[in-house]
């Protein structure tokens, strides 16, 4: 006889948990207690939820589970970054990366198994899309990192820049954002959560209308449509002008800016004219520019840009008045840097 599969409570909102316990004949506030235990106290065993009766703990354990992605392996970089290979319930694998810094910690998480966008400079794109992650699997990554002690500080930043295009998995991503940012739960401010997109214009416009709006990062990577379409097939559907129009309409208060990510590829998009063209494109936008010297991958056919060209590119943007940063690669020696996540063991 097959044992009935228990429902996973990770990924349920406070309202959903309250409704669930009421269906069990319990008062709704028990759902609030369970929610607080999971997300605020990081308790993942019903028997340790001390504000619940022993009988309710047993009933919950018999019907439900609290299942997070499981750790298959982890690799530590010489610079302190840690790449985690996580297994999901169906056996699919994803990667997320812990990035420690002097003043803050950052967790880079995945939103899909693989990616359908197919950016030619990104190793994840070579996987294709295997499936979307559920809200439970998305929120389960930072919850695992926090509950296991992988991220030692109670407060950390979350960037959805791992495997996948977050705006292709919109509903699950936004539910995860709400769970992560809920003051009654994990209480990670929406200002510390960044959703990165390759340029899904419809998703950017939809994101702008959400009650909780995280930071927006846009992977631009070219200053003209021809080059961008060659690097990022998505540009054939949504041109740069349409993408930037959506960015201009994105709701920002006076202290927030959109981050534009620009991967510099040697001899492709790293010329001084590219920099000047990029400055013209972004003129008037509340923008911060992150430059990323391409992280080497022998299978993708690109060249790491020369340091002098990278520096000149940065100087031109700064001369034009843009806050421009050269992102230091973290975890490149373990294939954990930007664009390198592709399940290499």
Residues whose CB is less than 8 angstroms from the CB of residue 227 and which lie 6 or more positions away in sequence, other chains included: 268, 269
CB 257 within 8 A of CB 323: yes
The residue from 95, 137, 165, 261 that is catalytic is: 95
CA atoms of 132 and 166, how far apart (whole Å): 9
CA 175 to chain centre: 13
Helix axes 307-319, 272-282, angle to 10 degrees: 30
Query: 333 phi and psi, to 5 degrees?
Result: -70, -15
The angle subtended at Cα 336 by Cα 142 and Cα 152, nearest 5°, is: 35
CA atoms of 22 and 29, how far apart (whole Å): 9
Residues whose CB is less than 8 angstroms from the CB of residue 57 and which lie 6 or more positions away in sequence, other chains included: 46, 47, 49
Does 338 qualify as catalytic in the annotation?
yes
Pairs from 240-247 (Cβ < 8 Å, separation ≥ 24): 240/281, 242/201, 243/199, 243/201, 243/204, 243/218, 244/281, 244/282, 244/285, 246/201, 246/204, 246/205, 246/208, 247/204, 247/216, 247/218, 247/285
With the C-alpha atoms ordered 274, 318, 328, 173, is the resulting torsion angle positive or negative? Answer: negative
Q: Which two tokens stand for residue 43?
A: 């308790």
Position of tokens 């699997």?
137
Position of tokens 């997070």?
68
How many CB atoms are closer than 10 A to CB 344?
14
The residue from 108, 119, 122, 338 that is catalytic is: 338
Does 119 qualify as catalytic in the annotation?
no
Label residue 191 left, alpha or beta by phi (over 0 means left) and psi (-120 to 50 means alpha).
Answer: alpha
C-alpha torsion 196→89→99→260, nearest 10: -10
Q: Which residues are catalytic?
A: 95, 338
């Amino acid at each position: 006889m097959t044992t009935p599969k228990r429902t996973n409570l990770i990924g349920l909102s406070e309202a959903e948990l309250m409704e669930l316990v009421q269906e069990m004949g319990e008062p709704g506030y028990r759902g609030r207690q369970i929610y607080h235990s999971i997300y605020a106290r990081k308790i993942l065993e019903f028997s340790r939820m001390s504000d619940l009766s022993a009988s309710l703990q047993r009933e919950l354990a018999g019907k439900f589970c609290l299942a997070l992605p499981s750790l298959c392996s982890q690799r530590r970089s010489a610079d302190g970054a840690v790449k985690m290979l996580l297994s999901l319930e169906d056996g699919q694998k994803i990667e997320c990366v812990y990035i420690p810094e002097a003043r803050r910690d950052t967790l880079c998480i995945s939103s899909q198994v693989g990616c359908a966008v197919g950016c030619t400079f990104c190793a994840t794109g070579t996987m294709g899309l295997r499936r979307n992650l559920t809200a439970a699997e998305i929120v389960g990554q930072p919850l695992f990192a926090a509950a296991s002690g992988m991220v030692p500080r109670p407060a950390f930043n979350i960037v959805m820049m791992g495997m996948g295009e977050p705006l292709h998995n919109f509903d699950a991503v936004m539910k995860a954002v709400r769970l992560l940012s809920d003051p009654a739960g994990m209480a990670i401010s929406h200002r510390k959560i960044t959703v990165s997109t390759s340029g899904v214009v419809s998703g950017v416009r939809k994101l702008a209308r959400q009650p909780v709006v995280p930071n927006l990062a846009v992977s631009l990577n070219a200053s003209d449509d021809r080059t961008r379409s060659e690097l990022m097939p998505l540009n054939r559907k949504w041109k740069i002008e349409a993408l930037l129009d959506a960015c201009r309409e994105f709701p920002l208060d006076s202290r927030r800016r959109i981050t534009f990510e620009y991967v510099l590829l040697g001899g492709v998009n790293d010329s001084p004219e590219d920099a000047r063209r990029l400055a013209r494109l972004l003129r008037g936008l509340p923008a911060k520019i992150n430059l990323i010297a391409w992280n080497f991958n022998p299978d993708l056919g690109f060249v790491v840009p020369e340091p002098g060209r990278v520096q000149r590119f940065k100087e031109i943007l700064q001369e034009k008045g843009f806050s421009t940063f050269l992102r230091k690669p973290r975890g490149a020696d373990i294939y954990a840097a930007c664009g390198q996540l592709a399940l290499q063991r």
